[in-house]
Chain A
Amino acid sequence: MNCKECTEKLVFYIDKELNNNELNTMQEHLKLCSSCNIAYKQLCNKLSVIDKERDLIPNPYLATRILNRIENISYKSNRQQQRILQPAFLIFILIIALFTGFLVGNSYQTIANDNNSSVQTDDLFFNELKQENIELTLLTYENE
């Protein structure tokens, strides 16, 4: 194995992704070649940064923070819903009140109209009779 081949496979050597044959050849070369050994150590050192970063853990209160955020947002959305629903409910009640008012008003008018018409027909006959009586009385009085 020459140095070029060795440096091309260093990352796979570090990650233990070489077969046994390649692994042995690499190990032998690294023992003998100081420049490849330096490159190997350099790469190991740099890739260890990834391992260190990988070992970082999130804030222990992260779960609580997430749940609080969800609670806050659902509370806010509830408040928003309330803000929309409350006036909508009031408007609905007002419309129902107005509608009921119109209905009651209309039904009262119909009853009143019905009553008026019956009174008028009664009155008509009554008045006509009365008028007839008065006319007859007056006529007879004049004639006398």
Chain B
Amino acid sequence: MNDIELIDAIKNGDKNAFRLLIEKYQDNLFKVSIGLLHNTQDAEEIVQDVFFQVYKSIYSFRQEAKLSTWLYRITVNKSLNLIRKQKRNKIVKNLSSFLLINDNKEIEFEEQDYAHPLKILELKETAKEVFAAINSLPTNQKIAFTLNKYDNISYKEISEIMELSLSSVESLIHRAKVNLQKKLIHFKNIDV
């Protein structure tokens, strides 16, 4: 069943078609989401939200864009919204801990920060450094890099998802890689 047939079947109320849609795209959306959030639980939540939104608004989908493009766009937007929300929460929590209102919640937040499976392993420190480097990239660079690196999405499709020109996407990914390289190579022990 291709995407158009899937959409038509879902619009006709076929629940099995919706399950097929989930099974077809959940891994891809999860990869993009985890690439932006670096937390499995959050990434799964985002994937759930994406499919829930798709279920609600499938009747308004006019098929002007590809289904996958539409799905990726929703995933990126939802992931970025969650990052913004988490940043706001972090500021509020830091502020409240600074004002000595609630110390316990600060500890809870730190524990939640270590929920990623890689962080439990010996790679913990390296993973932290790499994710911090990715997170420090400008938003557009981060989105383009994540879509390409985590899900091997072509530059053309990235340009459709981000509504940018192909050359802009190429430039974004190139700059993202250069910036990451600068942040990840430590020249202390290297004689350049």
Contacts and interface: CB of A to CB of B under 8 A. Distances in A.
A26 interface: no
A131 interface: no
Contacts of A11: 177-178, 180-181
Interface string A42-64: 11011101101110111100110
Contacts of A43: 181, 184-185
A86 B18 CA distance: 31
B26 A49 contact: no
Contact of B123 (A10, A49, A62, A65): A49
Most buried by B among A4, A57, A65, A66: A66
A53 B185 contact: no
Interface residues of A, number: 34
Contacts of B18: 67, 70
A44 to B, nearest CB: 10
Contacts, number: 109
Contact of A58 (B19, B26, B126, B177): B26
Contact of B192 (A12, A35, A66): A35
Contact of A53 (B23, B38, B52): B38
B186 interface: yes
Contacts of B157: none
Interface residues of B, number: 45
A96 interface: no
Given A11-B177, A63-B19, A67-B15, A50 B118 contact: no
A67 B123 CA distance: 35
A46 B164 CA distance: 29
B22 interface: yes
A59 B127 CA distance: 21
B157 to A, nearest CB: 17
A57 B27 contact: yes
Contacts of B19: 63, 67
Given A50-B149, A70-B55, A63 B23 contact: yes
A39 interface: yes
Contacts of A7: 181, 185, 187, 190, 192
A42 B51 contact: no
Interface of B: 15, 18-19, 22-23, 26-27, 30-31, 34-35, 38, 40, 43-44, 47-48, 51-52, 55, 116-118, 123, 126-127, 129-131, 134, 149-151, 177-178, 180-181, 184-187, 189-192
Given A3-B192, A35-B191, A35-B192, 16 more contacts: A10-B181, A35-B189, A39-B190, A42-B185, A42-B186, A53-B35, A56-B40, A62-B22, A62-B44, A63-B22, A63-B26, A67-B18, A67-B22, A69-B52, A70-B18, A70-B55
17 contacts: A3-B190, A3-B192, A10-B185, A11-B177, A12-B177, A39-B185, A39-B187, A42-B186, A45-B126, A49-B131, A53-B118, A53-B127, A54-B149, A56-B34, A62-B30, A65-B48, A66-B47
